[in-house]
Amino acid sequence: MKGVIYALTALAVFGLALWAYQENYRTQQVLGDTQELQHKIGAAQIRLSVLRAEWAYLNRPDRLRELADLNFDRLGLLPLRPDQFGQVDQVVYPAEPELPILNPVDVANLETQQP
């Protein structure tokens, strides 16, 4: 009987060792994937900062003014005048269509109350 217990204990130890070995390699793989992902995130942040700097450079007011002056005739741009602006109360908002109530529910229980 002791031999069977020793054999089962040895098999359990070998099984646990195999499980721990596999988990160790899975953990190492996940750590490697995490580092690779962090490097990609860092590279994307650097690219994003470069794109933001380029956008800021291209949207300089003096540059845009020069482009507008150069292409004034081709674009048909006109200078802004105060009479081109309206008042807020002149804005016409689209009317919202009324939605039909398919299954009305009396939440205040007005129909069940008797005066």
Per-residue pLDDT of the chain (115 residues; tens, 9 = 90+): 888 999 999 999 999 999 999 999 999 999 999 999 999 999 999 999 999 999 999 999 999 989 988 888 888 877 788 888 888 888 888 777 777 777 777 776 665 555 4
Total-model pTM = 0.49
* 68 neighbors 77 (Cβ within 8 angstroms): yes
Largest interatomic CA distance in the chain: 104
Instruction: Specify the DSSP class assigned to residue 103.
Output: S
